[in-house]
Amino acid sequence: MLTATLLALLSSTPLEDGWSWHQTDFPVSADGRVTLTNEGWEPLSEGASLRRKSTDDATMWLKHALPSRLERDSALALSSVIGHFEVFVGDERIYQHPPKQGVDGKGMNGLRWHLVPLPEGAEGKDLLVRVRSTYALAGIQGVPQLTTRAEWFETLVLEDTPRFVIGSVLAVLALFLFVALRGDDRKLAAWFFVYALSAATYVIFYTRLKQVLLPFITPPVWLFLYTLSLAVLPAAYLFIVDTLFTTRSVWMARLRRFQLWSGVVVVVIAALLWLALELIDSPSAASPVGLIYFGVTSLHRVGLLVTATFAAAMLVRWSLGKGERADIERARILLVGIGLLFVAIFINVVSSTGLAGGPNWVPWGMVGLTLSMMTLAQRSWRESRERAISSEKALTIRAQEKEAMLRDLHDGIGTVTTNIRMLAELGQRDQKRATESLATIAELSSEGIAELRTFIQSLDENQVDWPLLSAELRRFGGQLIESQGMQFQLDAELSEGAPPPTGAVTLALLRIFREALTNVVKHSRAKEVRARLVVAAKALTLEVTDDGEGGGSAGGLDTGRGLRNMRARAEELGGQFTFARERGARVAVELPLVH
């Protein structure tokens, strides 16, 4: 609103009506003098375009009478001109533009503009523009303006500064993403760099201020950069979506490949047009390449519209819960950005029909889409860092657990094998004690085999889960207890949200369980033994109760060797161990579970 008010205060005069055109050429001398005739001029209807009217000749003349009064430093402002053109006041040429710099496209008012100073004494004379090109859309794009140099630059600043700033911010953001990110985020950062830089180029292309701030970039280069950005943007967007979302779609993959290869074709054609404009010193010779270029880019825009529609429909489907659970919120966030861009495009389409006016909102729509994508990327990077930190902690814990398990194995199996060796040597020296030694060796061997089996099971973390572990407890308990003439029962309550058992938890659980049952066999004289395993999301609880005379030595928890071992194993993993005698013995252990 403020911009529109300020522009209304400027005294630029649009030369929209009052034009005439002439099809055939007039002779122009070497010093820039034109010999005109008054015959053959045809008036243009009100609001008619100032483009080529006939294909019979490559030259078109346009004429408009200048007002009888002009301000000081008056100038003619042309948004862009397709073809080689010259400007005359009366019969004197005051401006000419070489063919290499004179090619534009339909509606591409982001290319070179021209500010032609009017000489003194131009009041009341005829203003003539000579355009030469075989291209069907040759002529003046937009409405010429009578203005002053100061007013023209004020107009540029007021109209284009917001868009130029947006484009510059996108370019800085692209460089920041390229430099700042490392590791697993590098692929995503690379695509964001390509996307943001292409978006910046697209936005800056549609400003006239770029010609003042970036005068070293010629119109053919801008045309190529614009086409490159238009070809790269959809492909980069689809690759980012593919990286950020876990849901995989065959159609999304096909759209990505289509945009990639159609973009390659468009860029190749744009490169050929660039070379033609830079190397060929004739608009007529470059015209065939230009026709191919505009045809291919038009087809590409149709494909882009189809791709955008299908991609948006796919995101809507995912947002309604048809994709992976983690992608529902991501799809909704991205749809907000896409919606903002579509609204901006719709407003611009309505404005182009003359039904409404106002600034170009597409750059702001691009910002909205970019922000939504950046929100998703920021969440993805945060989740990635959290996973990395969690993995590092888990690896540290696992390393500590492995070290403790190996130490425990050395103490357990090492002690058993040492005792076996000592008993064997004793039996060899004393034949009378050989039978007793062999019986003890057999018992120790069984204990060593059980110890080794327990350790091997704890190492196989990939194949051990809670149902399998509870089945092993049930098998071992039934085999040990029922062989002594007692009844055994194990109840298991396993939560689906519980993390899988680690090696250390598996080893501690098996050993505590075996130690508890061994105590029952040795000390309780029970008839029935019951066990209960409860696995929740954050902890597990194992209880072993019997109906005998109690477990452990007379000293209880602190003096019984088996009880001390069970307590030490539980506390080593940050858990708790309790023992009680109430109509038998009750052993309970609670261990935390690491996610």
The predicted-structure confidence for 232-268, as pLDDT tens digits, reads as follows 888 888 888 888 888 777 877 888 888 888 888 888 8
Has residue 442 been placed in a domain? no
Domain boundary among 119, 142, 165: 142
Could you give the percent of the chain with pLDDT greater than 90? 9
In a shared domain, residues 194 and 70: no
Q: Which of 203-217, 252-266, 401-415, 510-524 has the lowest mean pLDDT?
A: 401-415
- Identify the pLDDT of residue 489: 92
Domain CATH number, residue 68: 2.60.120.260
- Identify the pLDDT of residue 118: 92
Has residue 3 been placed in a domain? no
- Identify the pLDDT of residue 104: 43
Has residue 348 been placed in a domain? yes
Please compute the mean of the pLDDT values over residues 354-367 and round it to a whole number.
Answer: 68
Domain boundary among 114, 142, 170: 142
Whether the pLDDT of residue 88 is over 90: the answer is yes
Q: How far is it, in rounded angstroms, from Cα 412 to Cα 138?
A: 93
SS (H, E, C) 521-584: HHHHCCCEEEEEEEECCCEEEEEEEECCCCCCCCCCCCCCHHHHHHHHHHHHCCCEEEEEECCC
In a shared domain, residues 550 and 594: yes
Q: How far is it, in rounded angstroms, from Cα 567 to Cα 559?
A: 12
Please compute the mean of the pLDDT values over residues 170-189 and round it to a whole number.
Answer: 71
Q: How far is it, in rounded angstroms, from Cα 408 to Cα 403?
A: 9
In a shared domain, residues 138 and 180: no
In a shared domain, residues 473 and 576: yes
172-181, 271-280, 531-540: which has the highest mean pLDDT? Answer: 531-540
Residue 414's closest CA among 371, 379, 459, 447? 447
Q: How far is it, in rounded angstroms, from Cα 487 to Cα 482?
A: 6
62-76, 210-224, 408-422: which has the highest mean pLDDT? Answer: 62-76
Mean model confidence pLDDT for the chain: 77
Q: How far is it, in rounded angstroms, from Cα 51 to Cα 114?
A: 17
Helix (H) / strand (E) element for 35: namely none
User: 147-159 b/e with 16+ CB inside 10 Å = b?
Assistant: bbeebbebbbebb
DSSP letter for 40, please: T
User: 189-228 b/e with 16+ CB inside 10 Å = b?
Assistant: bbbbbbbbbbbbbbbbbbbbbbbeeeeeebbbebbbbbbb
288-297, 335-344, 471-480, 539-548: which has the highest mean pLDDT? Answer: 539-548
The predicted-structure confidence for 521-578, as pLDDT tens digits, reads as follows 877 788 899 999 999 988 999 999 998 875 444 333 344 567 887 888 888 888 899 9
User: 120-140 b/e with 16+ CB inside 10 Å = b?
Assistant: eebeebebbbbbbbbbebbbb
Q: Which of 395-404, 482-491, 528-537, 582-591 has the lowest mean pLDDT?
A: 395-404
φ/ψ of 118, rounded to 5, equals -90, 135
In a shared domain, residues 263 and 371: yes
Classify strands 92-97 and 84-89 as parallel, antiparallel or unpaired: antiparallel
Ranges of beta strands (E only) in 299-412 are none
Could you give the percent of the chain with pLDDT greater than 70? 75
In a shared domain, residues 138 and 215: no
Q: Which of 158-162, 414-418, 544-548 has the lowest mean pLDDT?
A: 414-418
- Identify the pLDDT of residue 504: 76
Looking at per-residue confidence, does 419 or 570 come out higher? 570
Domain boundary among 345, 378, 411: 378
In a shared domain, residues 233 and 301: yes
Domain CATH number, residue 314: 1.20.1070
* Chain centre distance of CA 274: 32
In a shared domain, residues 118 and 178: no
On the CB side of 443, CA atoms within 13 Å amount to 8
- Identify the pLDDT of residue 558: 40
129, 167 contact by CB (below 8 A): no
On the CB side of 536, CA atoms within 13 Å amount to 8
Whether the pLDDT of residue 431 is over 60: the answer is yes
Ranges of beta strands (E only) in 15-67 are 20-22, 42-43, 50-51, 59-65
User: Which residues fall within 8 angstroms of residue 459, CB to CB, at 6 or more apart?
Assistant: 405, 503
Whether the pLDDT of residue 100 is over 60: the answer is no
In a shared domain, residues 365 and 479: no
pTM, two decimals, is 0.58
Looking at per-residue confidence, does 591 or 523 come out higher? 591
In a shared domain, residues 334 and 372: yes
Domain CATH number, residue 479: 3.30.565.10
Has residue 290 been placed in a domain? yes
Has residue 194 been placed in a domain? yes
The predicted-structure confidence for 321-337, as pLDDT tens digits, reads as follows 777 777 888 888 888 88
Dihedral in degrees, nearest 10, Cα atoms 79, 80, 81, 82:
-150
Q: Which of 179-193, 267-281, 389-403, 433-447 has the lowest mean pLDDT?
A: 433-447
SS (H, E, C) 87-115: EEECCEEEEEECHHHCCCCCCCCCCCCEE
- Identify the pLDDT of residue 531: 93
Q: How far is it, in rounded angstroms, from Cα 300 to Cα 292?
A: 12
98-102, 295-299, 453-457: which has the highest mean pLDDT? Answer: 295-299
Residue 72's closest CA among 122, 18, 113, 8? 122
Please compute the mean of the pLDDT values over residues 464-480 and round it to a whole number.
Answer: 84
The total number of structural domains in the chain stands at: 3
User: Which residues fall within 8 angstroms of residue 497, CB to CB, at 6 or more apart?
Assistant: 537
Has residue 420 been placed in a domain? no
Domain that holds residue 54: 17-142
In a shared domain, residues 192 and 51: no
DSSP letter for 197, please: H
Please compute the mean of the pLDDT values over residues 141-150 and round it to a whole number.
Answer: 86
Has residue 396 been placed in a domain? no
- Identify the pLDDT of residue 534: 93
In a shared domain, residues 93 and 204: no
Beta bridge pairs of residue 330: none
Residue 84's closest CA among 70, 71, 97? 97
Has residue 385 been placed in a domain? no
- Identify the pLDDT of residue 403: 65
